[in-house]
Amino acid sequence: MEFFKKLGGIMVMGILMLSSVFAASLSDYPAPLFIEDTTFDGDIVYGENADPSDIMGLVDAIAAISVIEGDEIVSGSETVSLEGDSWKAETSSKIFELRENISSIQSTLTEDELNALADGTFTAKNDADYEQEIRFSENILLNYEEDTDEDVVDTFLTLDNNQEILTYTLTFTTSAESDIEDEELEDFEDQTLTILGVDYTVTDTSYSNDAIEFTLMGGALLDTLEQGATKEYELDGKTYEVEVTYIGGVGESEVKFKVNGEVTDAMVEGDTYSLADDTDIGVREILEEEAGEITADMVEFYLGADKIVLNDGNVTDTTVRGDVDIGEDTMDEVEVDIVGSEDGTDFLLESISLIYKADDDYWIGPGEKLSEKIEEPESMINWDIVFEGMSSAAVEMIEIVPAGDEEAELKVNVADGQVDIPLAYTNGTMTWPGARDELLVIGTNATALNRIDNVKQDEYVILTTGSGVPDEGEKSYVLQYRGADNSAGSTATLKFKNLASGNIIERSFNKGIGEGKLTLGGQEFTITAPTLVADEDDFNITIDGGADQGYLVTEGDALITIDTTTADQVDVSITESDVNGMTESGVQSTIDVVVNDDNVDEIDINVVNVVSGATTLSMINDPDDNDLQTQITTYGAKIYVKSDDSGADKVEIEWPKEQLSGQAFVVSGEVKSTIIGSTSTKVLKKVTIPLAKSDAEALQKDPEMNKKNYLLVGGPCANKATAKVLGSETSWPGCAAGFEEGIGRLVLVESNDKVAMVVAGYTGLDTTRATRVLKNYQEYTLEGSEVEVLGTTSEPSSVRSVTSNSSD
């Protein structure tokens, strides 16, 4: 029986919950199969009767994945610029922050921002100069929310149904004048007006009792042909052969065309005709010669015509708005307001405004345009709003995650690197800061806010440079007091472990004056020992200096407050360390997290409040993942709350190293986007590995061994938890079934959406050989649900696949 205790260990490592469509595969080792973010998601279980060589092989294998290559990290900020006629929603002093409306950046655009809004002159009875502008409403918002039409959560430019978008206005600095004859404004007709960079000819007018109508004609191609003439044109990659077949008429002059064999209706000036391919041909002017004249009749026309009819029932009342017709359709998303007056027999035109409103709820996502959302994009003439998403910046991760069932850790980047701070522990009755046997000591001295009293051996402290509430740029250090050597002489030696660097710091303590000094980041801290006893080692200490206690400043200048004053819970708040220096508007955002006991003897982690300024932000459920909620603060910190049915929630925060802003543009015509700035590099990530458990302990908590992901050490003969996973017997000879001398095995077993990876061998040597493959996984092809490791020594000679997974 002793021989079979040398059977190989079984390794079951944490796995992300897999879709029912795809089976687990060894090719996903170590991530995403076993590692979620920087956490080993599972329990390590050894057999109480396992051979020591099994465990040593496992230690080597686990060490190989304790540090993994992470994602690319952006260094520096990244923004988008547009080439072409465009304006970006920002100024030299303002950026477009989340939950702002675009008019708060700049309410009005003129020719200084868009070339399409250039000043012009309209030649009528007089030469009337005009200016153009776009004035935003307050309804174009930058929001993080769910697009309920597409079931997508992202950052959007949002517009609510029936809300105004913006107003385009053409204003005459000197009124444009026309005689009023037979209810027409003839001095305006056949004249050109440039609107949003597009030339339009006024082909027809009518005016009566303050009601006015303008017919405007523009288009891609403008030409003149004689009657009977034929000419070819290229438009949008297609050839059009246009022939003028008829010009004449008894009363008003008419014209007919033949276009690629299609004959149009008879048209008068201002008419358009839609061809079979939806291209419009429009008549600007018919030049019909009198009898006896030697020149031929001619027609000036547009191919690819744009016909706009503006109709306002009362030019003296700005509350009365009229319709805008484009082609043959009345637009639902734009109204017109024409302002003018009569002066004797003259009409004075003051301005023309187009008022745009949303005809539905709009979400303009990254890479999208407003014109893609509205039903009548032709009503926009030659303007659009483009959203290129949020700017990007280098980020750091702030995590509050469970470390087993009873503990929670705070993972942050501080002055000396990434650190896992023991944040809270619960025994089912009480919750306290720190780990099971070592407290995280936060000073609570009411008269000396930067003092930590009575720090015992192995307890943890956080020291921060500066004074008072630490500001942007201050540095924090997380230390474990390892005790003092007070054996002889006038000085003792204090020892601290820097949790980020792993280095041991030793400092002298003058017993004569009862004081020692510790300098971190240029800040001196004073150490005293109020209860020092002669020659007593590991005495308690008090630390004074630096910033107030309870604060931590991350490498990315997040200010984290850890409050332990409420019994049986630890309160954590994350905010900007200098809101005025780090945000354009000075709007402060706070993320509040409570860590306590969930009343079932396990640690509980909850985001209880997210506030930006005076606005409370609700976490948003992900429509594709029932276990995920997200939100983004005004500064740009993105919060992820990941639920786990078998344990506490995980809170992860992507903290940008500078404020993120929305990249929104107003454009005219064709534009091209260009990404500016930033570089990226791969970084190494430290993986948190849990403490191992015995098979008896694991089976007591999970008799079916399917509530968690497991790492099992020892074969069925030595590890009863392994036998449960494999469905094997626990006694000889049944427990040896499936194993063969000279062959190690790596086997994946799935149950209840959890996975076990079995690393086993017939003898201890076979097991060691299998764990070597796991240790050097990058050198081997691991695929499917099982591989065999062959050899006669501890070094593998070959690895062969036994099975391959496929979707059902």
Cis amide leading into 32 (omega within 30): yes
CA distance 500 to 477: 8
CB of 393 closer than 8 Å to CB of 660: yes
pLDDT for position 684 = 53
CB 21 within 8 A of CB 728: no
CA distance 358 to 708: 50
SS3 379: helix
Of 659, 417, 412, 454, nearest to 551 by C-alpha is 412
Q: What is the mean pLDDT of each run of 10 residues along the chain (808 residues)?
A: 34 32 75 78 78 74 71 54 84 94 97 96 96 98 97 97 97 97 93 93 93 89 92 91 92 93 93 90 85 72 90 94 93 97 95 97 96 95 95 93 94 95 93 94 89 96 96 96 88 95 94 93 95 85 96 96 94 96 92 88 92 95 95 97 88 95 92 55 62 82 87 79 87 87 88 85 83 87 90 90 55
Residue of 652, 639, 644, 659 whose CA lies nearest to 708: 644
In SS3 terms, 244-305 reads as EEEEECCCCCEEEEEECCEECCCECCCCEEECCCCCEEEEEEEECCCCCCCCCCEEEEEEEE
3-state secondary structure 670-726: EEEEEEECCEEEEEEEECECCCEEEHHHHHHHCCCCCCCCEEEECCCCCCHHHHHHH
Those residues with Cβ within 8 angstroms of residue 129's Cβ, 6 or more apart along the chain or in another chain: 119, 120, 121, 122, 172, 173, 174
pLDDT of amino acid 594 = 97
To which H or E segment does residue 621 belong? Answer: strand 620-622
Residue 674 confidence (pLDDT): 59
pLDDT of residue 291: 55
**Sequence letter at residue 254:** E
Q: Are 396 and 577 in contact (CB under 8 A)?
A: no
Is 520 within 8 Å of 465 (Cβ atoms)? yes
The pLDDT assigned to 123 comes to 95
What is the Cα–Cα distance from 222 to 281, expressed in whole angstroms? 10
- Residues 713 and 674: their CA atoms lie apart, in Å, by 54
Confidence at residue 5, expressed as pLDDT on a 0 to 100 scale = 35
**Model pLDDT, residue 22:** 47
DSSP H or E run through 767: helix 764-775
Angle at 127 between CA 125 and CA 130, to 5 degrees: 120
* CB-CB contact of 788 with 803 (8 Å): no
Pairing of strands 127-136, 108-109: antiparallel
Q: What is the 3-state secondary structure (H, E, C) of 676-688?
A: ECCEEEEEEEECE
Give which of 454, 478, 463, 471 is closest to 546, Cα–Cα.
Answer: 463
With CA atoms as reference, report the closest residue to 111 among 89, 94, 133: 133
Dihedral (C-alpha) 708, 711, 716, 721: value to the nearest 10 degrees?
A: -30
Q: Is 162 left (phi over 0), alpha (psi -120 to 50) or beta?
A: left
End-to-end CA distance of the chain: 41
What local confidence, expressed as pLDDT, does residue 645 receive? Answer: 80
Alpha-carbon distance of 317 to 380, in angstroms, equals: 24
pLDDT score of 805: 46
Between CA 567 and CA 574, with CA 568 as vertex, the angle to 5 degrees is 85
